[in-house]
Structure 1
Amino acid sequence: MGVSLYYTARRATPLTDAELTAVGQVVDTYNANAPFSLEEEGLYLYDRLESGTVLDGSTKLPTADDRAVPSLVHWLAGITALRSAVPDAHWTFTLDDYEIDWDDHTGYHLPGLAD
């Protein structure tokens, strides 16, 4: 049984070419620099989007305890970078059913995780 991150950005206007390029760069960079090989799922963006959704994806976290925290820290930074690439959307971001709050100073994080 695994735990996954789910992220969605919604707005009325589609992504611009510049935003699509920035999103692609974030995905490529964070997947290439994952703390462990991508035996686990990296940043994965869905092809089929509901109306009003401009970005929708998920990332499955590793089940091994020694990999879970470093991976979670890495992917939280990756989703923060995605949100920065598409800042004027309404974002939802969850760790399974637990909503992760946005902080204007630190982005997405979980208290005490990076300690």
Structure 2
Amino acid sequence: MGVSLYYSAERGTPLTADERAAVERLASAGEDSLREEALELFPVWHASGEVPREYRSPAEVFEGLYLYADDHLSAGQVLAGSSKMPPAACGGEPLLAQLRHYLDALTLMRRALPDARWHVHAEEVEIPWTEDGYTLGDATT
């Protein structure tokens, strides 16, 4: 069974076209930064066994910041999505890299929609919000 990161934002008014574009840009930037780091680290992860050799590219290990279409949102939601974490065969370093990049992107999204109520969690574990953003403490820094 895989683990996923879930995220949603609620407010009384829908996203504007500019807000939607900003959120999509931030999601894409988070994915791009993870992909760049992973491309550099894949040889190291393969050599150490963090990523089994059968995974030849980041696309095989990491799912993007998937934002649901408007018709899949619950009442009051203006944004929601999910991302699968790396397969169980991969070690902790790829998982922490994905969490770091995606929590950074979600922090920027939250700041872009400051009047929304956000909920970010991995399965049943709530990811805390602080003035510094979403973090799992020292593990993701």
Q: TM above 0.5, one fold?
A: yes
2:68 to 46, 67, 70: 46
Is it true that 1:33 corresponds to 2:33 in the alignment?
yes
Q: Unpaired segments of 5 or more residues in structure 1?
A: none
TM-score, normalised to structure 2, is 0.75
Match of residue 54 from structure 2: none
Residue type at the aligned position of 1:61: M
Report deviation, 1:52. Answer: 0.9
Is it true that 1:100 corresponds to 2:122 in the alignment?
no
CA contact (8 A) 1:4 1:58 kept: yes
SS at match of 1:30: helix
CA contact (8 A) 2:10 2:76 kept: yes
CA contact (8 A) 1:5 1:95 kept: yes
Q: CA RMSD in A?
A: 1.4
Aligned residues: 114
Ranges of 4+ aligned residues in structure 1 off by more than 4 Å: none
Match of residue 55 from structure 1: 79
The structure whose residues are more often strand, as a share, is 1
Residue type at the aligned position of 2:126: E
Residues 65-74 or 93-102, more deviating: 65-74
Residue type at the aligned position of 2:96: V
Residue type at the aligned position of 2:63: E
The structure whose residues are more often helix, as a share, is 2
TM-score, normalised to structure 1, is 0.90
SS at match of 2:81: strand
Report deviation, 1:51. Answer: 2.1
CA contact (8 A) 1:31 1:38 kept: no
Report deviation, 1:38. Answer: 2.8
Larger gyration radius, structure 1 or structure 2: 2
Give percent identity, aligned residues only: 41
SS at match of 2:120: strand
